[in-house]
Amino acid sequence: MADSPLDPAELQRAGLRLDVDGAVATISLARPERRNALTFSTWHTLARIGETLPGTVRVVVVRGDGPSFSAGIDLRLFSPEGVPGEDTSGPRDEAFIAGLQAGYLWLRRPDIVSIAAVRGHAIGGGFQLALACDLRVVADDVKFAMKEPALGIVPDLTGTKPLVDIVGVPRALELCLTTRTVFAEEAARLGLAELVVPAAELDSAVADLVAAILQVRPETAAATKRLIRQAPHNTLEEQAAAERREQVPLLGGPAAAPAAS
Ligand code: ACO
């Protein structure tokens, strides 16, 4: 295992570990002594992982070392001292934020299924990382909180869209503006977790889920993810057409014709 296409020094600087084992890549947030606080390097390196992921990978598991998934942004980045090795001098413009968002956006790609394995705190950027994944398996000690507004900023790491998609506009607004904590029972009820398990069983529950997903043919899994992801934006007729387009190649028929314009 521990096969990684990236420079180990780059991963370490970013507080990350990457293990690629055949069809499964596991990304570990690996700064438990700081509760896996996230730095600019973390987000840039996550983007690099997405860019360099071997084509054999079909499932990506994102997990955290230690008691917390992630305490969100490393708060020292907001202080004059900053974080050693992190460049905090550049402009905080939209291009800069887009570079950080790239660390999370690739987790929605149709050729992979991404799973967040969350124990303990998932705060701010940590909560948004869990939301960036397709599925969330959580330990019963999970604590989700969108803390950004308490710091005077908005959640800008691609989290507002999945949050609204999952819990709806009023609940998303309430969670963001109160910055309150969502515990396991409510997380399951709101759909923020597909599965809640005792903390000691988190790894085995994720392994079972991964094994089940890998039973499905890669092209079928990718087609299914494309189909399900577009469903909320389509009319019934558009979605029925999308089902037909995805199905024909799987049945061994002619390649899908371009959508009629
Ligand atoms: N940034 C930098 N260091 C952090 C962070 C963080 N976000 N979170 C924890 N740490 C450090 C602590 O300073 C502490 O360091 P020390 O041992 O040198 O004192 C160490 O990690 C352990 O933290 P504790 O607070 O002792 O751990 P505990 O398990 O009791 O609490 C918790 C964990 C709840 C996550 C708490 O650390 C916390 O509230 N952290 C800040 C969360 C936050 O507001 N994040 C920003 C969200 S907004 C965004 O992400 C954009």
Residue 247 has pLDDT above 80, yes or no: yes
Could you give the CA distance from residue 201 to residue 256 in angstroms, rounded to a whole number?
42
The CB of 72 under 6 Å from ligand 1? The reply is yes
State whether residue 96 is helix, strand or coil.
helix
Residue 261 has pLDDT above 70, yes or no: no
Instruction: Give the pLDDT of residue 255.
Output: 55
From residue 190, give the alpha-carbon distance in Å to each of 98, 131, 164, 195, 249.
Answer: 29, 13, 11, 12, 36
The percent of residues in the chain predicted with pLDDT above 90, rounded, is 90
Q: Is the ipTM of this complex over 0.95?
A: yes
The CB of 246 under 6 Å from ligand 1? The reply is no
Give the start-to-end residue ranges of the domains of the chain: 8-214, 218-256
Cα-to-centroid distance, 36 and ligand 1 (Å): 9
Greatest Cα-to-Cα distance within the chain, rounded to the nearest angstrom:
61
Could you give the CA distance from residue 16 to residue 168 in angstroms, rounded to a whole number?
32
Q: Which amino acid is located at 182 in the chain? A: V
DSSP H helical segments within 53-118, as ranges?
94-105
**Predicted model pTM:** 0.95
Could you give the CA distance from residue 177 to residue 200 in angstroms, rounded to a whole number?
32
Instruction: Give the pLDDT of residue 3.
Output: 55
Mean pLDDT of 23-50: 98
Instruction: Give the pLDDT of residue 6.
Output: 86
Instruction: Give the pLDDT of residue 103.
Output: 98
Burial bucket for residue 18 (CB in 10 Å: 0-12, 13-18, 19+)? buried
Burial bucket for residue 44 (CB in 10 Å: 0-12, 13-18, 19+)? middle
Ligand 1: which of 31, 33, 34, 35 to mutate, most ligand atoms within 8 Å of CB? Answer: 35
Cα-to-centroid distance, 164 and ligand 1 (Å): 26
pLDDT tens across 203-236, in order? 999 999 999 999 999 999 999 999 999 999 999 9
Tokens of 198: 């005792």
Which residue has the least CA distance to atom 38 on ligand 1?
Answer: 71
Which residue has the least CA distance to atom 41 on ligand 1?
Answer: 71
Instruction: Give the pLDDT of residue 42.
Output: 98
Neighbours of 241 (CB within 10 A): 14
Could you give the CA distance from residue 127 to residue 232 in angstroms, rounded to a whole number?
22
Residue 202 belongs to what H/E stretch?
A: helix 202-214
Task: Give the HSE-up count for residue 47: Cα atoms under 13 Å, Cβ half-sphere.
Answer: 14
How many residues does this entry show for the chain? Answer: 261
The CB of 124 under 6 Å from ligand 1? The reply is yes
Instruction: Give the pLDDT of residue 4.
Output: 61
Residue 259 has pLDDT above 90, yes or no: no
Neighbours of 173 (CB within 10 A): 14
pLDDT tens across 84-143, in order? 999 888 888 999 999 999 999 999 999 999 999 999 999 999 999 999 999 999 999 999
Tokens 């054999």: give the residue. Answer: 56
Could you give the CA distance from residue 148 to residue 178 in angstroms, rounded to a whole number?
10
* CATH superfamily, region 8-214: 2-enoyl-CoA Hydratase; Chain A, domain 1 (3.90.226.10)
